[in-house]
Structures are given as C-alpha cells and as structure tokens.
Structure 1
C-alpha cells in the first residue's frame, strides 16, 4: 500500500467502522493506485441514503468538523439534512481537511462509482477507491489547470496497469 498521511487512514477507518458507505476519490485515490500526487486533504463520495448521511454526519461531528474558514468560536454541526443539499462540503477536522462530494462531477451516479471502484485493503479492512477511469472522468469534468498534471499521471498509471495485466 502506498504511504498516505496516517490521519487520513484514521479518518477512513472511522468511516469504515461507522458503516458509512463511501468511495475514496481525489488525490488520495490517485495515491492508492500508485500515483505520486501530493495532497493536503482527503475526498470522499458517499451514498445518498438517509441512514448513510446520518452515520456520516455523526462521524464528521466526532472529528469536530467545521467548514473551512468557519470561525472557531462559532458552533457548527454537520447534519444529514445539510449533506442532502450540498454539491460539496470542504471541512476542517481533527484529522485534517476532508472534502465531501455526494456526486463528483463527471460521474453518472454514486451506485455506478461504487460498482466500478477498486476494493483495496488498508491494513486490516477493505475500502472502495474510485477506479482510474472514474478519476479520469472527474479530472476532465473539473477542468482545472492542476488537473492536467493529474490526468497525465492517471493515463500513465492506466498504461502501466494494462501492461502488467498483459504480461
């Protein structure tokens, strides 16, 4: 397993233990596929069902999640209702920055993302990590300048994996 920030491993493990249905997307997903991308946050896509959103909200609150830029003296609590209305939510937590994306741009549905995701062992428990093809679709849809470098790395990883499978 590639080296990732232990705080992010703990965040993933907390979601797993809380039985949140999620897929790791973004830079950490790229790292888990073998990429060398440096990232300062972890991105999760999550199933839209009420119970799942409730488990996610409870877990985020246990990590003292607050929106980035939110004043520390103002109380804040993540709710399932908020999670049903957001396109994305950028949070600061005890375990670092966490971005929540119910349905990342470029993806057809959470169910599709879930089905296509790679199952990876993360030191005693398994998680779902967005497939390289879905990561490519997300990066293309985002269209940010930094995504061009990520796309080159994703295409290279895809080629290496295909060559390994042929051998």
Structure 2
C-alpha cells in the first residue's frame, strides 16, 4: 500500500469547511442519502453538519482497516465536487468486524440494512454485503467485496489503497484514482460518470 503525507487530508478538511458553510446558508431540502443519484449528497440534507473526521479518527483509533471510496476519496484526489456522505469498503472478514463495530459505536453510529431496517451496531451486522450507517458527523454505506461491482476485482482495490497520514498521526486509507474511476464507471449513475470524467481529466493534464 502506498502512502501520501498530508495533502489529501488537507483537501478533505477544506472541502468539509466549504460543505458546512454551504449547508448552513440554505433551506432544508427534505432529501436524504438515497435521493442523490444525480446531484450528489451535497444537494441533500445529508450535507448538514457533514464532518467525516470523527469517524475516520475512530477507525484509526480502533485499528479498523476500512478504505474510503466514493466522493470523499475523489476529493482526496483533488475533485472539486463537494459531498455530504462517506462511503467505506472493508474486506468483510469476521475477524476484522469487531474493530469496525467498535469504531461505529464510539461515534454513536446507527446501522441499517439495504431496506433501511435498523440493525444492532454489532460485528455480525457488518458482515452483510452493504450496511448503511448514520452518525452525528457522517452517513453513508459500508460495503464488502461481496457487494456486486460488475467485473471489478474488489479485493484488489483494497490491496491497492493509498494511505494518507496527517502530522497528528491520523492515517486514512482511500481508493486509488484509477480504481475510483473504475468503480464510478461500473455503477454508472449520472453523478458517477461525471465524477469519473473529472478524475480521468487529471491524468490527461499530467500527460500534456
């Protein structure tokens, strides 16, 4: 796993500040996490109070190796598009579930299955292919490689993850730019294709 120092996390901190300022200056939308297929969660009430850092710090503190995917990872790679959710990918191994559950418990997160039915914040609950979580600072999906991703080899995405480290010692694992583009295109929603094109343009800029 490659490691980068500071800059990706600084980009994320700056984006969180902009998100909070934007959300505070507008009226409520009555839209939530599941209503964001086009505009993204920045256009929903999920952006209110958005701050993924308490959960990211809890994952680090509890030794839970979860990889950030979705638009938070995109922001860490330099995307200009804001978001209001945090999506995670982990290996789904039962032996690693207790650390992940402990991180969620420590930030008062609530879990639900794909239908929105509440579940106990317990290691066994996290073994599903996808679990939804809601915490005071961030909501999103927590996925395992068992979730269908087309022909993507999701376990390899975990192996290729990058680690960003800030001066205070916080380590955050996040998907590589190339893997994030592949995941975006595999899902294929309007916001995913838009964000994949933006990430792909970064590589074009470097080639010119």
Query: Could you tell me the TM-score, scaled by structure 2's length?
Result: 0.67
Match of 2:131 in 1: 89
Task: Specify the SS of the correspondent of 2:68.
Answer: strand
Q: Deviations over 1:7-62 (max 9, x none)?
A: 21221111011000111110000000111121111111112222311111122122
Match of 1:128 in 2: 173
Distance 1:14 1:120 in 2: 15
- Any stretches of 5+ residues in structure 2 without a counterpart? 1-9, 18-50
1:126-165 alignment, distance < 5 Å: 126-160=171-205, 162-163=206-207
Task: Specify the SS of the correspondent of 2:89.
Answer: strand
Q: 1:67 to 1:83 in 2, by over 3 A?
A: closer
Task: Specify the SS of the correspondent of 1:41.
Answer: coil
Match of 1:58 in 2: 102
Name segments (4+ residues, structure 1) moved above 6 Å: 68-71
Distance 1:142 1:37 in 2: 18
Q: 1:87 to 1:70 in 2, by over 3 A?
A: closer
1:70 is displaced (CA, Å) by 6.3
RMSD of Structure 2 on Structure 1 (CA): 2.4
Match of 2:77 in 1: 33
- Any stretches of 5+ residues in structure 1 without a counterpart? none
* Residue among 24, 30, 49 paired with 2:93: 49
Q: Which moved more, 1:117-126 or 1:18-27?
A: 117-126
